[in-house]
Every structure is written in structure tokens, then in C-alpha cells.
């Protein structure tokens, strides 16, 4: 289907339509009248009187203007007829358009930055302290100054690389399950902690902050190494939760409900279930009634579908309601949720953390690499590319993570990596290990003379992390 029209023209037009609708949404609100609530898709012009003081045709046509967006309609309703890579391009263009609207695409020194002083050993706490109050202004350029373990401000100017290093370190820390706000399923995929302390005011502030932090990563095109459970990603897409979504949260409960659904015996006598669910927090159990007097109502063959629905709804929606609402408010502060709804769950995962499960194209990486202290014709560089192109995919991913902090490549190829992948000479001492500065995607490589030596040193460094630094 996509071969029948010009995709580049489609992208340009859909971005124009979105920008035009944004202008309409941002116009000063007119006084509300009953006519403002007429469904714009219904032709009711012949059945309602004109509002006082203005033309009825003018009023309705202005409202309908927001719906006369055919290409945006394709993107909103049948997005998968557009190739994934093109939808990623559309997403990035939506962001660029938003940056232009806010004046963020000017020279960085033309707009004041927010400045945050961050202690490396308190990165989450200081990040929350300095950045949470910004709300939607987290879109603005942020200047980060790190304080080292000795209380000294680290040298250097944040040209974007330091912020990237801060953001990747922050997300690694704040999505740590030991912090208490997130749990993982059997696949080690994250979802909000349903416990009651996660619904307290301060915890909800943190969820909002986490949403904005993740939104900032998406907004800036910074990949982060974090994976969310499928049922939670469904909520990003505005999809209703179903029984099958329970498999990514609690597979044992999911199998149990399937067993109940298909049970051929006497449900009431054999299974002895009622309309309650048990919540366990800190070794204490609480019985929650799914309906009034649920503890006194038995599950039978006739009402078991209702029971299955209520259990699923509680597990997938009710217990996370406040946490998810706070998280998505924060996310929407930075990236409009409707921009994400042109993707499915797998694609959202790729948008957050890059493509997984495919062979890395180090030929593409080589074409996009920049050099310092030497050029692509230097013998060590020639040796380097011969060695790393022989790596298996797992080792390639370790190398990519060692240098960039993320094991997955950008969605549109390594040309999209910001800053660009770089290799710099670290001198002629061949006894040294390679090292990396993840904040600027820089590999610092001694001038090894043989493939065997380079491979041995590089593999040791990427497997042990022994060569990591932040300079």
C-alpha cells in the first residue's frame, strides 16, 4: 500500500497537519456555548439555530477543521500501513516541530539553561530535588555539573554529553527495584509497585518525575537500557487491558483464571472461590472485596466470567491506577502520548532502548565513526575494525554498551547516535587497556600493533568494565 504514495510527502504533510492542529488547540478559548459540544462528524447544521453574534457555518467549520486531517487520520487509526522507520522519522519530526515552537532549536547559548548540581553518589535524590519542579520545562536545555566523591565540582563544559551521561545514570538508578517504586515480572520487565506506600503523595511525585525523565530521553533521542512489561506498555498506547495482558504481570494467576474459565466440573463446590482477592504487603495479608459483600458470594459456573473480569481489572488497572496516572501525566508533559500511539508494544520498547535481537551492523558504525588523534587509515584503526567485525553479536553489544552505555543501536542507524561514536588515540603504551567516556560515546584506544593484542585487551576491558572513565 505504501508504494502507491510518496512517503516523504506523507511525512511532510502529516507534520503540517499536526502543527496546524496544535495552533488551533493553543488559540485563546472562546466562550463555551451548547453548540461547542455538537459532534463535528455529524451534519447537524440544518437542525440547530445559529449561535448569537456569529455565523453558524463559520463556527462549525472551524471545529471541523481539527478533523479534516486525512493523513493524520491514517497515522492515528491505521498506523501500521506506514513502515516503522517512517513512523520513527515522523515522531522525531514531531519533536523537532515542538522544539521549534518553543524556541529550543536556537543556538544553545541563545536560551538560558537550567543548571543542576548533582552528587554522583546521590544522583536520584539530587536529580529530583533540582529538576522535578521544572515540570514541562524539563524540555529546556539542562546544564549538569557533577560533584565527585570528594565534594569537588568536576571539570568540563556540558555540551550535551554530560547531560546524556547524567540521564542514562539517573534512569539506571531510579528504575532500580531496590528503590521500591518498581517491580519486575518473570522476564525482568518493569512495572509500577502496587503497594499502598507507592500511592502516597511523595511516591506519586516520584512517578510523575520518572515519567518526565523518560519523556526527556525520548525527546532528546537518548537511548536508555530499561524494559517495561507488556501490560504496562499497553497503557502507554491507551489500550484497554484484557485477560491475556495478565500473562505479562502474573503468569500463574493468568493460567489459574484460564483453568477456571474452562473448568468442566462443579466450580462452586470444587474450587471454593468467592469475590475477594488477597493483597500481600510486608508479610501482611489483606482481603479486598471485588464487589460489595464479595466474601459472602461464591464463584459459580454462571458468574465466573464476571469474577475473572473483576480479578483482571483489579490486578491490571485498579491497584496501579494512581501510580500510572502520575507517571503518564509526567510523560505527557514532555512527549505527547498521542505521538506514541502510532507504535505497538515492541516498537515502543525499541523507541526507548533501541533495536534488540538483530545483528549489529558494524559496517554502518564504521561509516558513522569520527576520529581524534588519527584517521580511518591509521593501522590501529584498520586493525580495530577487522577485529570487531569478527565479534559475535553478543560481544558487539558489550562493546556498544561499554562505549555508549546502551547495548542497542539507534532505530534509524548509527547516523542517529548523539554524540557520534568516536575513537581517540590514548597514546603508544600498549600495556594499557582501552577506556571509554560514555557521556560522549568515546572509545580511547592505545596504539596496538597487532590484532591479537588489540582483541585480547578490548575483550578484557568490555567484559570487566576495567577501562571505564568519565573524562
Domains of the chain: residue spans and CATH: 2-101 (no CATH), 113-235+322-353 (3.90.1750.10), 243-315 (3.30.2160.10), 362-469 (3.30.2410.10)
| 3-state secondary structure (DSSP) of residue 305 | helix
Helices of type H across 26-121: 56-65, 70-77, 84-101
Mention every residue, 6+ apart, whose C-beta is less than 8 A from residue 225: 168, 171, 172, 353, 401, 405, 406, 407, 408
Which pLDDT score is estimated for 14?
66
Which pLDDT score is estimated for 69?
59
Distances (CA, A) of 298 to 156, 181, 252, 263, 270: 67, 35, 22, 15, 11
Q: d(Cα 30, Cα 65) in Å, to the nearest integer?
A: 16
| 3-state secondary structure (DSSP) of residue 53 | coil
Whether the upstream peptide bond of residue 2 has omega within 30° of 0, thus cis, is no
Q: In this structure, what DSSP letter does residue 445 have?
A: E
Let me know: does 15 contact 93? Beta carbons within 8 Å: yes
CA angle at residue 108 from 106 to 112, to 5 degrees?
Answer: 105
Distances (CA, A) of 265 to 49, 270, 309, 414: 63, 7, 20, 58
Mention every residue, 6+ apart, whose C-beta is less than 8 A from residue 238: 337, 341
Q: d(Cα 260, Cα 307) in Å, to the nearest integer?
A: 10
3-class SS shares of the chain: helix, strand, coil, % to 5 = 55, 10, 35
Let me know: does 102 contact 139? Beta carbons within 8 Å: yes
**235: closest CA among 254, 207, 256, 261?**
207
Mention every residue, 6+ apart, whose C-beta is less than 8 A from residue 61: none
Mention every residue, 6+ apart, whose C-beta is less than 8 A from residue 385: 362, 366
Q: d(Cα 225, Cα 212) in Å, to the nearest integer?
A: 16
Grid cell of 229 as nine digits? 512489561
Let me know: does 153 contact 126? Beta carbons within 8 Å: no
Q: What does residue 298 show for φ and ψ, rounded to 5 degrees?
A: -80, 150
Q: d(Cα 104, Cα 26) in Å, to the nearest integer?
A: 18
Burial (CB < 10 A; 0-12, 13-18, 19+), residue 395, is middle
Q: What does residue 238 show for φ and ψ, rounded to 5 degrees?
A: 70, 25
CB atoms within 10 A of CB 345: 18
Q: How far apart are the first and last CA of the chain?
A: 50
* Biggest CA pair distance of the chain: 87
Model confidence, pTM = 0.78
Grid cell of 347 as nine digits? 516498537
Which pLDDT score is estimated for 32?
41
Mention every residue, 6+ apart, whose C-beta is less than 8 A from residue 389: 362, 363
**19: closest CA among 61, 69, 75, 77?**
69
CA angle at residue 144 from 143 to 149, to 5 degrees?
Answer: 165
**312: closest CA among 243, 263, 229, 253?**
243
Which pLDDT score is estimated for 374?
87
Q: In this structure, what DSSP letter does residue 189 have?
A: -
* Residues of the chain falling short of pLDDT 50: 1, 4, 29-68, 109-110, 466-471
CB atoms within 10 A of CB 98: 20
List the catalytic residue out of 324, 368, 406, 439: 439
Q: Residue 406 catalytic? A: no
**87: closest CA among 71, 107, 64?**
71
Distances (CA, A) of 393 to 109, 398, 408, 415: 41, 9, 11, 20
Amino acid at each position: 500500500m505504501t508504494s502507491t504514495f510518496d512517503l516523504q510527502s506523507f511525512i511532510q504533510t502529516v507534520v503540517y497537519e499536526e502543527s496546524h492542529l496544535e495552533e488551533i488547540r493553543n488559540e485563546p478559548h472562546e466562550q463555551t456555548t451548547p453548540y461547542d459540544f455538537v459532534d463535528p462528524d455529524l451534519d447537524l447544521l440544518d437542525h440547530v439555530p445559529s449561535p448569537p453574534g456569529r455565523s453558524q457555518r463559520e463556527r462549525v467549520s472551524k471545529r471541523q477543521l481539527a478533523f479534516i486531517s486525512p493523513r493524520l487520520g491514517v497515522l492515528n487509526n491505521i498506523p501500521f500501513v506506514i513502515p516503522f522507520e517512517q513512523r520513527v522519522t515522523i515522531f522525531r519530526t514531531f519533536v523537532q516541530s515542538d522544539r521549534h515552537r518553543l524556541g529550543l532549536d536556537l543556538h544553545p547559548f541563545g536560551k538560558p539553561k537550567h543548571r543542576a548540581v548533582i552528587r554522583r553518589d546521590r544522583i536520584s535524590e539530587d536529580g529530583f530535588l533540582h529538576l522535578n519542579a521544572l515540570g514541562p520545562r524539563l524540555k529546556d536545555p539542562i546544564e549538569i555539573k557533577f560533584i565527585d566523591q570528594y565534594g569537588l565540582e568536576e571539570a568540563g563544559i556540558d555540551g550535551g554529553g554530560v547531560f546524556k551521561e547524567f540521564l542514562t545514570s539517573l534512569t539506571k538508578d531510579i528504575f532500580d527495584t531496590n528503590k521500591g517504586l518498581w517491580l519486575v515480572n518473570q522476564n525482568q520487565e518493569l512495572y509500577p509497585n502496587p503497594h499502598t506506600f507507592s500511592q502516597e503523595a511523595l511516591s506519586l511525585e516520584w512517578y510523575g518525575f520518572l515519567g518526565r525523565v523518560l519523556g526527556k530521553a525520548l525527546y532528546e533521542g537518548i537511548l536508555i537500557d530499561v524494559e517495561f512489561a507488556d501490560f504496562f506498555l499497553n497503557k502507554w498506547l491507551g489500550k484497554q487491558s484484557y485477560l491475556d495482558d495478565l500473562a505479562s504481570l502474573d503468569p500463574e494467576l493468568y493460567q489459574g483464571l484460564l483453568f477456571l474459565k474452562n473448568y468442566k466440573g462443579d466450580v462452586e463446590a470444587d474450587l471454593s472461590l468467592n469475590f475477594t482477592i488477597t493483597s500481600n504487603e510486608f508479610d501482611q495479608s489483606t482481603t479486598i472485596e471485588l464487589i460489595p459483600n464479595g466474601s459472602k458470594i461464591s464463584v459459580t459456573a454462571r458468574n465466573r466470567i464476571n469474577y475473572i473480569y473483576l480479578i483482571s481489572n483489579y490486578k491490571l488497572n485498579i491497584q496501579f491506577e494512581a501510580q500510572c496516572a502520575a507517571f503518564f501525566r509526567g510523560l505527557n508533559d514532555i512527549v505527547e502520548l498521542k505521538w506514541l500511539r502510532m507504535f505497538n508494544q515492541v516498537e515502543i520498547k525499541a523507541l526507548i532502548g533501541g533495536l534488540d535481537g538483530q545483528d549489529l551492523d558494524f559496517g554502518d558504525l564504521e561509516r558513522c565513526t569520527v576520529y581524534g588523534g588519527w584517521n580511518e587509515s591509521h593501522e590501529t584503526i584498520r586493525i580495530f575494525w577487522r577485529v570487531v567485525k569478527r565479534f559475535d553479536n553478543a560481544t558487539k553489544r558489550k562493546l556498544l554498551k561499554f562505549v555508549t552505555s546502551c547495548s542497542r543501536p539507534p532505530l534509524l542507524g548509527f547516523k542517529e547516535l548523539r554524540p557520534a561514536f568516536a575513537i581517540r588515540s590514548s597514546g603508544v603504551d600498549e600495556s594499557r587497556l582501552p577506556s571509554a567516556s560514555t557521556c560522549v560515546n568515546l572509545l580511547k584506544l592505545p596504539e596496538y600493533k597487532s590484532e591479537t593484542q588489540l582483541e585480547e585487551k578490548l575483550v578484557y576491558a568490555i567484559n570487566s568494565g576495567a577501562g571505564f572513565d568519565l573524562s
